[in-house]
Structure 1
Amino acid sequence: MTELINRPEYLNQLIQHRDVDLVKIVTGIRRCGKSSLLDLFHQYLSDSGVPDVNVIHMNLESLRYRNLTNYLSFYDYVSERIPKSGKTYLIFDELQAVEHWEKAIESFRLDFDVDIYITGSNAYLLSTEFSTLLSGRYVEIRMLPLSFKEFLAFYEFAPSVTTEEKFQRYLQFGGMPILREYQFNEARSNQALEGIYSTVVLRDILQRNNQVDQKILQKIMLFLCSNIGSITSPNNIGNVLSHEGDIQQGSRKNVAGKTVDKYISMLRSAFIFFSVGRYDVKGKQLLKTLGKNYIIDMGFRNMLLGYRDADRGHIIENIVFLELIRRDYRVYIGKVGETEIDFVAEKPNDKLYIQVTESMQSPETRDRELKPLRMIPDNYEKIVLSMDRNYINSYDGIKSLNLIDWLLS
């Protein structure tokens, strides 16, 4: 068995929710570490004295459970194995393989003394029927590929390798845990990423959506990868693809835009992309048009497009977005007058305004990055993140931080 490497941020969330009467659902793109997390949690239960008989742990994509295709056979199989005494921990991996699984889960909650943990690799797991049935009775734990902090713990580096060089590797290879096996061999890593990407497209998009044109899906994927950090709309993307002859415009002008919107929604549901809306900071309202899309992991982008140093500005913006999500912020693109703020990040009692740039050295860049932050009329924290390391760490109360230091803080 592969050695399990702890991911304390996620494991601690499961431990904090232990024995709370909510179904714990771990979601995230395939191969980001969900199964390993459940293995770690199983290990934690054993170490804390839970008898083996009181833990039922199943991966529903295993052929061992090939006959458990619907909720009734699944319910019967598990029910027979739940002991009569003591709380039982039910751990189900890739549960979307069972049709109407949510009915069985709700029944386990009602019929037995159980604590339930589930993983799933696409957002259909949290579809409307499920949300209606288990409304208010579940908590979602969104799992992402490795953060830079986790990346440093996962890999072994020679003592001579600087933190900046390690960060460069992170930008290039991304944070999918499986790549650790290849120790930065670019060709093998790309093969592994291609395999994961193909599985996601096949199992989590094509098999679940009839009439998907794989060629159009790939074109939209490449377009989004090329335009990370750029303001786009489905109509813009549709127009570009229509000019290239990939989408028929039809008699109605917005057919292409609707098609693109549907495909982007599928990519979001498979956890490949996040779409981020715009927020008018002065008007304090969400804007309905135009937004940005960020990819789940830079390794996939680089596998599809090749790694280009010229893209570093957009790449580090994507890294910051993912880190804010990891830190449980709700994230928007900010609009102040005619200017834009890269990120407005909110929690119930906290708000951050963040600009991301590769360097603040030139006066023009400095003015461009600081101007929108200076226009904000409130006193919440304002930060510019860059790769610079210099003695100036504040401009009129706006913090200037090194990106790597911020990621490791």
Structure 2
Amino acid sequence: MNKIYKERPYYLNQIRPFIGSDLIKVLVGQRRVGKSYILFQLIDEIKAKDKKANIVYINKEENEYDAIVNYHDLIVYAEKRIIKNVKNYLFIDEIQDIENFEKALRHLAAKKVFDLYCTGSNARLLSSEIATGLSGRYIEIPIHPLSYQEFLQFHAISSGEENCLKYIRYGGLPFLANLELRDEVVYGYLQSIYNTIVLKDVVARFNIRNINFLNRLLEYVADNIGSLVSAKRISDFLKSQKTQTTPNKILDYLSYLCSSGIVRKVNRADIKGKKIFEINEKYYWEDLGLRNSLVGYKATEIGQMLENLVFLHLSRLGFKINVGQLDNKEIDFVAEKEGRKIYIQVAYLISDKAVKDREFGNLLDIPDNYQKIVVSMDKLIGDDYRGIKHYQIMDFLQHDELLKV
């Protein structure tokens, strides 16, 4: 594709086993997390192995593909470009911008002429439409902003508290590797991405008229990372700020925001009874840089942002995540994967006995023997406290094996 990029082997390794299969490979993630460049890397790998491979590439963000409006246009465009007696590959970027795209995918998959790949930024639209029309015929690969380890590699810097704070401050959108990491430079870029996500993936997609209200809601979510929130609580707060709304409207808008990928919802679950509560969930940002470009970076909020980072790390690794409720105590994260369960508490610093008793004590009260971890920014920490591991955030984010027991 004649593109210069840095590889992201974590995602390539997930996709490679399916190259050449009949399954449609669907890459889903917030805008500007690098989905297109992962496609470019796949294309280059395919061409390196098969010089005759026919690559058909469509990017709905580029004007030259404006004529592809609906599923019929897509089918006609693709089938005109089939070459006989060679392997044909079809790559479609931002497929959700094509009306009834799932009909085209179903048609093309049935023909078995193309090896199919697509990306999309609207998680709800993609999952619902593809699941309905293509059940059992696709594999979905979530793509996220750079992990901490990727951030270090992309920016050619080493791990340490200063660079970890840069990651917290500016986030992990890959293009930042081309910019000087200063507030006035980075936040200008991130604000343009924020506006694109809000306008294209929320306002236009769901026909929203009150953009100011949407921004106020996002500001509330940004200011309340790691806090249990409810639609009624948000509604009451906005009303106190002279913004009229209802809990039902709040729920709708939160759903729209989650579908764009800019924020993520985490439900609350009872640890003993395994019940999922229907109110009081938490919301985290897919990229902290976008969050900070909206409400500003404040050193006093590092504890909240550390919690957001731990959530993102667990999510990248494929864990199902809930907030744990144990009687009247809260466990920041209950992470489950492949029959394993891990309980995690996050704190900025374990600064005194009261903080230590709270963070470790909540975990000690859990009546099972699954892995329990405390994560903080502390430089000098003990390795183990009554069976509970204590990790510095930089180590936790760099060593996936810490979560393999």
The equivalent residue for 2:101 is: 101
The answer (yes or no) to whether the contact 2:125–2:259 under 8 Å persists in 1 is no
AA in 2 matched with 1:234: A
The equivalent residue for 2:151 is: 151
TM-score by length of 1: 0.94
Partner SS, residue 141 of structure 1: strand
The equivalent residue for 2:33 is: 32
TM-aligned CA deviation for residue 86 of structure 1 = 3.8
Q: Determine if the alignment matches structure 1 residue 80 to structure 2 residue 80.
A: yes
Gaps of 5+ in 2: 400-405
TM-aligned CA deviation for residue 49 of structure 1 = 2.1
- Structure 1 337/9 Cα, relative in aligned 2: closer, same or farther at 3 Å? same
TM-aligned CA deviation for residue 165 of structure 1 = 1.1
User: Whole-Å Cα distance in 2 between the matches of residues 143 and 51 of structure 1?
Assistant: 29
The equivalent residue for 1:187 is: 184
Q: Determine if the alignment matches structure 1 residue 210 to structure 2 residue 207.
A: yes
Out of 370, 377, 397, the position equivalent to 2:367 is 377
Partner SS, residue 13 of structure 2: helix
The equivalent residue for 1:327 is: 317
Partner SS, residue 232 of structure 1: coil
TM-aligned CA deviation for residue 87 of structure 1 = 3.2
AA in 1 matched with 2:285: I
AA in 1 matched with 2:274: K
Q: Determine if the alignment matches structure 1 residue 347 to structure 2 residue 344.
A: no
User: Whole-Å Cα distance in 2 between the matches of residues 348 and 57 of structure 1?
Assistant: 36
The answer (yes or no) to whether the contact 1:86–1:113 under 8 Å persists in 2 is no
AA in 2 matched with 1:285: K
TM-aligned CA deviation for residue 283 of structure 1 = 1.0
AA in 1 matched with 2:93: D
TM-aligned CA deviation for residue 115 of structure 1 = 1.6
TM-aligned CA deviation for residue 8 of structure 1 = 0.6
TM-aligned CA deviation for residue 4 of structure 1 = 0.7
The answer (yes or no) to whether the contact 1:329–1:346 under 8 Å persists in 2 is yes
AA in 1 matched with 2:357: D
Task: Give a deviation string over 1:241-269, Cα, whole Å, max 9, x none.
Answer: 12222114xxxxxxx11111111111101
User: Whole-Å Cα distance in 2 between the matches of residues 148 and 129 of structure 1?
Assistant: 33
TM-aligned CA deviation for residue 95 of structure 1 = 1.3
User: Whole-Å Cα distance in 1 between the matches of residues 184 and 176 of structure 2?
Assistant: 11
The answer (yes or no) to whether the contact 1:344–1:353 under 8 Å persists in 2 is yes
Partner SS, residue 61 of structure 1: coil
AA in 1 matched with 2:34: G
- Structure 1 105/388 Cα, relative in aligned 2: closer, same or farther at 3 Å? same
The answer (yes or no) to whether the contact 1:56–1:89 under 8 Å persists in 2 is yes
- Structure 1 263/399 Cα, relative in aligned 2: closer, same or farther at 3 Å? same
User: Whole-Å Cα distance in 1 between the matches of residues 309 and 188 of structure 2?
Assistant: 23
AA in 1 matched with 2:19: R
Partner SS, residue 285 of structure 1: coil
TM-aligned CA deviation for residue 120 of structure 1 = 0.8
User: Whole-Å Cα distance in 2 between the matches of residues 360 and 187 of structure 1?
Assistant: 33
AA in 1 matched with 2:385: Y
AA in 2 matched with 1:19: G
Q: Determine if the alignment matches structure 1 residue 235 to structure 2 residue 232.
A: yes
User: Whole-Å Cα distance in 2 between the matches of residues 141 and 45 of structure 1?
Assistant: 19
- Structure 1 33/129 Cα, relative in aligned 2: closer, same or farther at 3 Å? closer
TM-aligned CA deviation for residue 127 of structure 1 = 5.1
The equivalent residue for 1:302 is: 292
The equivalent residue for 2:133 is: 133
AA in 2 matched with 1:300: L
Task: Give a deviation string over 1:117-159, Cα, whole Å, max 9, x none.
Answer: 10011124425343211112211111111110000000034xx
Gaps of 5+ in 1: 249-255
The answer (yes or no) to whether the contact 2:96–2:126 under 8 Å persists in 1 is no
- Structure 1 371/124 Cα, relative in aligned 2: closer, same or farther at 3 Å? closer
AA in 1 matched with 2:231: P
User: Whole-Å Cα distance in 1 between the matches of residues 381 and 26 of structure 2?
Assistant: 45
The answer (yes or no) to whether the contact 2:225–2:283 under 8 Å persists in 1 is yes
The answer (yes or no) to whether the contact 2:381–2:390 under 8 Å persists in 1 is no
Task: Give a deviation string over 1:226-245, Cα, whole Å, max 9, x none.
Answer: 00000111110011112222
The equivalent residue for 2:386 is: 396
User: Whole-Å Cα distance in 2 between the matches of residues 325 and 205 of structure 1?
Assistant: 23
The equivalent residue for 1:284 is: 274
The equivalent residue for 1:406 is: 396
The equivalent residue for 2:358 is: 368
Percent of paired sites with the same residue: 37
The answer (yes or no) to whether the contact 2:381–2:391 under 8 Å persists in 1 is no
The equivalent residue for 1:251 is: none
Q: Determine if the alignment matches structure 1 residue 47 to structure 2 residue 48.
A: yes
User: Whole-Å Cα distance in 1 between the matches of residues 283 and 64 of structure 2?
Assistant: 39
Partner SS, residue 99 of structure 1: coil
Partner SS, residue 275 of structure 1: strand
Q: Determine if the alignment matches structure 1 residue 258 to structure 2 residue 248.
A: yes
AA in 2 matched with 1:80: K
- Structure 1 121/175 Cα, relative in aligned 2: closer, same or farther at 3 Å? same
Q: Determine if the alignment matches structure 1 residue 246 to structure 2 residue 247.
A: no
The answer (yes or no) to whether the contact 2:29–2:120 under 8 Å persists in 1 is yes
The equivalent residue for 2:71 is: 71
Tell me the matched-pair count: 398
The equivalent residue for 2:21 is: 20
User: Whole-Å Cα distance in 1 between the matches of residues 159 and 365 of structure 2?
Assistant: 38
Which deviates more, 27-36 or 179-188? Answer: 179-188
TM-aligned CA deviation for residue 164 of structure 1 = 1.3
Partner SS, residue 39 of structure 1: helix
The answer (yes or no) to whether the contact 1:18–1:115 under 8 Å persists in 2 is yes
- Structure 1 8/189 Cα, relative in aligned 2: closer, same or farther at 3 Å? same
Which deviates more, 388-397 or 93-102? Answer: 388-397
User: Whole-Å Cα distance in 2 between the matches of residues 83 and 116 of structure 1?
Assistant: 15
Tell me the C-alpha RMSD between the 2 structures. 1.5
TM-score by length of 2: 0.95
User: Whole-Å Cα distance in 2 between the matches of residues 23 and 330 of structure 1?
Assistant: 24
